Amino acid sequence: MSATDAHPAAEIDLPKHEFLAGRIALDFCNSLSPARRVALRDRIVEPADFTSWAKRAGIVLDRAPSPQALARLRRLRAALIGIFHALAEHRAPREGDLALLNTELAEARAAERIVATKDGYAIGDSAPAAIDRLRHRIARDAGDLLTGDLRRIKRCPAHDCHWLFHDDSKNLSRRWCAMDDCGTKDKVRRYRERASA
Ligand SMILES: [Zn+2]
């Protein structure tokens, strides 16, 4: 029996939209949903959970992480949650969280190699294990987010959601994680308030 058979997606309470952040580092943060009541709060607890999460994100891993590799992924996730929730609240991230990201980034950068492509050259990742390459990719994406336009790092204002996302809209107008989820709930709530007023 494969890990997927042991843990079918239908049996866990997946959110309506799991990958809505627009950036993998933020989607990774959202795999822990402290404020979400409806969906499973932490979707990466066991090693097989990470493989399933990656698969749902469209990334096929050859094997599940070892317990140590999973612990490292969860430490990275905790640091990224600390950093990006701080930024979404216009606070400075904690030094310890930034230091952990720096360590991960240093390893990710050290694995970079120039590789030939059919059109020229690109930067590839020489880490042999797919799990390490994925962790590197998440760390690099977090580094790019931190050094990009911080106004675009936002958090859904719904009190029972608080998911992070990257606002790619031209005029920075994205407010909700998903218009047909928290956005609609807010519309309905405001409609009811007006109707009962
Ligand atoms: Zn939301």
Lowest mean pLDDT among 3-7, 56-60, 163-167: 3-7
Domain holding 159, by residue range, is 11-196
Q: Domain for residue 27, yes or no?
A: yes
For residue 97, the CA-to-ligand 1 centroid distance in Å is 24
- What domain count does the chain have? 1
CB 115 within 8 A of CB 149: no
Q: Domain for residue 171, yes or no?
A: yes
Q: Domain for residue 22, yes or no?
A: yes
Question: In angstroms, what is the C-alpha Rg of the chain?
Answer: 18
Q: Domain for residue 2, yes or no?
A: no
Q: Domain for residue 3, yes or no?
A: no
14 closest CA partner among 29, 34, 35, 36: 36
What is the tens place of the pLDDT at every residue in 121-174? 999 999 999 999 999 999 999 999 999 999 999 999 998 899 999 999 999 999
- Whether the predicted model's global pTM rises above the 0.85 cut: yes
How far is 108 from 181, CA to CA, in rounded Å?
A: 35
Q: Which residue has the tokens 């979400």?
A: 36
- H helices of the chain, in order, are 3-6, 24-29, 47-56, 67-88, 95-110, 130-146, 184-196
- First-residue to last-residue Cα distance in the chain: 57
Q: Domain for residue 112, yes or no?
A: yes
Q: Domain for residue 6, yes or no?
A: no
For residue 197, the CA-to-ligand 1 centroid distance in Å is 26
Q: Domain for residue 144, yes or no?
A: yes
For residue 150, the domain's CATH number is 1.10.3300.10
DSSP string of 40-70, one letter each residue:
-SBS-SSHHHHHHHHHHTT---SSPPPHHHH
For residue 153, the CA-to-ligand 1 centroid distance in Å is 14
